[in-house]
Amino acid sequence: MGYIFISKNSTSIVTIGYLPRVKIDNILNEDLIKYCKNNKIAYLRVDPIDSKNKYSNFKEITNKFKHYGLNIKKSEPIQLPKTVIINLEKSENDLLKQMKHKHRYNIKLAEKKGVQVKIAESEKAFNEFLNLYQETVKRQKYTGRSSDYISKLYFLGLKNNSVKIATAYYKSKPLASWFLLLDGDYVNYLYGGSSEEHRNLMPAYKLLWECILWAKNKGFKYFDLYGLKNDEHSGFTRFKLGFVEKDNSQIIEYVDTFDIVFNRKIYTLLRIMENIRKFVLFKIK
């Protein structure tokens, strides 16, 4: 994504920053570094948008920051390090051909059974999405975003027309819904939710296909499915990969996450605490 966003945790004594999916070259400016130092940010964690094809090794990245006298350390990713970015400049026929056969079958099945998709930015559509999202978080037992956070993000996005809600319906009942973020040439899948009802109608397949067609018709060049797990048993990862099965060039692996360290002592202490927390959570599981 083409913008820089800094998130500060100012509720604690220590302040840290985060840059999601930003180009490394965009970080190399004195204003950003001055901002971090003036706000006493201990470190800035960066999930780059640059692909690994651009940098053959991590030393190339650290050399870029030497001019500013900054200490760079490899870190743990916040965003998933791989994703599928569908090339919307392909023809509709080619987009279908690159899919797994079963995916094309499921799209046709959903169409035959009467699943319909609407892409909107209404309060009704957002509430339907939020209900399905919360239902999914509870069912799958993972830590999702709070409704307050998502609501703020959505209504902020409405101001500059950068958000859409895409929902698959069966007989007016919402079955699956996605929160889409629009950014330049990109449409980004951000959050999603689904119902346990009528799963046999394959609403998610129809939903993504209609999102692809909508984005293509609107002139967007890329559709970012925003994250692949390394777990081959992950259903959603298999779902995403199936849309580009015959063209792996659309599977992107990003450069390693890194931290720009401004306060070495505090940074060292925080990383030790972070590792202890991970160890404890792992042992509990």
pLDDT at 281: 53
What's the angle, vertex CA 256, arms to CA 255 and CA 260, rounded to 5? 110
Residues of the chain with pLDDT > 70: what percent? 93
Architecture per CATH, 82-252: 3-Layer(aba) Sandwich (3.40)
Name the burial class of residue 34, with classes exposed (0-12), middle (13-18) and buried (19+) by CB atoms within 10 angstroms of its CB: exposed
State the DSSP H helix or E strand holding residue 137, giving kind and residue range, or none if neither.
Answer: helix 123-140
DSSP-derived 3-state class of residue 162: coil
The predicted structure's pLDDT at residue 12:
58
β 222-224/186-194 pair status: parallel
DSSP structure string for 52-95 = TTT-SSHHHHHHHHGGGT-EEEE---SS-SEEEEEETTS-HHHH
- The pLDDT value given to residue 144: 82
Which pTM does this prediction carry? 0.83
Distance CA 101, CA 201 (A): 17
Q: Cα–Cα distance between 186 and 179 in angstroms, integer?
A: 14
How confident is the prediction along the chain (285 residues), in pLDDT tens digits per residue?
Answer: 334 444 444 445 788 888 888 889 988 888 888 888 888 899 999 999 998 888 878 888 898 888 888 899 999 888 889 999 999 999 999 999 999 999 999 999 999 999 999 999 999 999 999 999 999 999 988 878 889 989 999 999 999 999 999 999 999 999 999 999 999 999 999 999 999 999 999 999 999 999 999 999 999 999 999 889 877 678 889 999 999 999 999 999 999 999 999 999 999 998 888 878 766 655 444
